């Protein structure tokens, strides 16, 4: 696993990202994270450790207080020490186009069928003709194991099925980087597997992925790299092998013990 692809462009590059919520409570403190293309990175940590916030900053759902985030070499957020936001090189939105995100609560559009959920953005933001959008949406649904569910509404699907539609919806925009924010946490235990299978296949297909999860087995088997966050900082960063079998930091050890004793 190399840190940089042949072209030398990182999939995601976060440099000294700081963010605090109102009343000055810091959520991210000097977080720097380089993610190489094709890498599958799993972010772990206790709730409130800042891992979801980090993901949301990369997706553009949160603004950062200082630091810089680039996606595939395009700067998406760049805030100097003075708090001034620079949107130079016109990359502010362009970089976000390469990022897909899947949420814990699926966030499907309940008034649209599975197919309409997937085709909406390609049709209206990329001007893809409806027929072409439908054709690729049908293929995408089949690829997540949901052939035949095209005309079902989210309310007619199980949680696992809804989450797979949400993954297909994100993939319809052909992102280069996929972000997964605790995507199995809201699912009944027996439905977790079907979503993880889809994610595993995506990883094997060479997708760059940043995954926030509590599924340690998934991290162990699929991740190229595991990052442990605590109190808004990256505490430990290594291969699954390194992190799970010989964590160097006390806090990582304590966290893993807590997770395993559950």
Partner 1 sequence: MNYKWDWGIVFTSDTFNPLLIGLEFTLGVSVICLVLGNILGLAAAMGRLYAWKPLGILVYVYVDFFRTTPALVQLIWIFYVLPIVTGIDFGPVEAGIIALSLNAGAFLAEIYRGGLQSIGAAQREASHVLGLSRIQTLRYVVFPQAFRRVLPAITNVLISLLKDTSLLSVIAVSEITYQITNRVAATYRPLELYTALAVVYFVITYPISLGAGALERRLRLPGM
Backbone angles phi, psi at 22, to 5 degrees: -55, 155
Task: Dig out the tokens for 19 from the structure.
Answer: 């963010």
166: left (phi over 0), alpha (psi -120 to 50) or beta: alpha
Q: In this chain, which of 3, 4, 124, 254 binds partner 1, going by CB under 8 A?
A: 124
99-118 residues near partner 1, rule: CB under 8 A: 99-101, 103, 105, 107-111
Residue linked to tokens 């949680």: 159
Query: How near is the Cβ of 95 to partner 1 at its closest, in Å?
Result: 12
Q: Measured from the CB atom, is 155 or 189 closer to partner 1? A: 155
Backbone angles phi, psi at 139, to 5 degrees: -65, -40
> 93-114: string of b/e by CB count within 10 Å (b at 16+)?
eebbbbbbbbbbebebeeeebb
Instruction: Single out the segment in contact with partner 1 by CB under 8 A; choices: 32-40, 45-53, 97-105, 140-148.
Output: 97-105
Q: Is 136 in the site for partner 1 (CB under 8 A)?
A: no
Mind spelling out the 3-state secondary structure of 193-234? Answer: HHHHHHHHHHHHCCCEEEEECCCHHHHHHHCCEEEEEECCEE
Q: Measured from the CB atom, is 76 or 234 closer to partner 1? A: 76
Residues 6+ apart with CB under 8 A from 68: 13, 14, 15, 16, 17, 75, 77, 78, 79
Q: Is 152 in the site for partner 1 (CB under 8 A)?
A: yes
Q: Is 130 in the site for partner 1 (CB under 8 A)?
A: no
| CA 232 to each of CA 28, 121, 135, 144: distance values in angstroms, whole numbers, following the listed order | 4, 33, 43, 34
Q: Is 92 in the site for partner 1 (CB under 8 A)?
A: no
Instruction: Single out the segment in contact with partner 1 by CB under 8 A; choices: 137-145, 149-157, 231-239, 253-261.
Output: 149-157
Instruction: Single out the segment in contact with partner 1 by CB under 8 A; choices: 54-62, 75-83, 132-140, 234-242.
Output: 54-62
Query: How near is the Cβ of 109 to partner 1 at its closest, in Å?
Result: 6
Q: In this chain, which of 11, 91, 96, 199 binds partner 1, going by CB under 8 A?
A: 96
**Residue ranges in contact with partner 1 by CB under 8 A:** 59-61, 93, 96-97, 99-101, 103, 105, 107-111, 120-121, 124-125, 152-157, 169-170, 173
């Amino acid at each position: 696993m190399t840190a940089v692809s042949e072209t030398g462009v990182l999939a995601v590059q976060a440099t000294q990202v700081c963010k605090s919520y109102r009343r000055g409570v810091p959520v991210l403190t000097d977080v720097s994270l380089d993610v190489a293309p094709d890498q599958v990175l799993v972010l772990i940590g206790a709730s409130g450790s800042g891992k979801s916030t980090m993901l949301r900053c990369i997706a553009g759902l949160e603004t950062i207080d200082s630091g810089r985030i680039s996606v595939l070499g395009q700067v998406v957020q760049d805030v100097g020490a003075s708090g001034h936001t620079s949107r130079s090189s016109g990359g502010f939105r362009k970089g976000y186009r390469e990022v897909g995100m899947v949420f814990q609560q699926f966030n499907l559009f309940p008034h649209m069928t599975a197919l309409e959920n997937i085709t909406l953005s390609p049709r209206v933001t990329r001007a893809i003709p409806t027929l072409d959008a439908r054709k690729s949406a049908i293929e995408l649904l089949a690829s997540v194991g949901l052939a035949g569910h095209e005309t079902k509404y989210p309310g007619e699907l199980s949680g696992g099925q809804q989450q797979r539609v949400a993954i297909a919806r994100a993939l319809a925009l052909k992102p280069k980087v996929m972000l997964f924010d605790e995507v199995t946490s809201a699912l009944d235990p027996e439905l977790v597997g079907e979503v993880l299978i889809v994610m595993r296949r995506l990883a094997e297909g060479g997708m760059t992925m940043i995954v926030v999860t509590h599924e340690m087995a998934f991290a162990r088997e699929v991740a190229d790299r595991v990052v442990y966050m605590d109190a808004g900082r990256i505490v430990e960063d290594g291969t699954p092998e390194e992190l799970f079998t010989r964590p160097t930091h006390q806090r990582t050890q304590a966290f893993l013990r807590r997770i395993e004793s559950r």
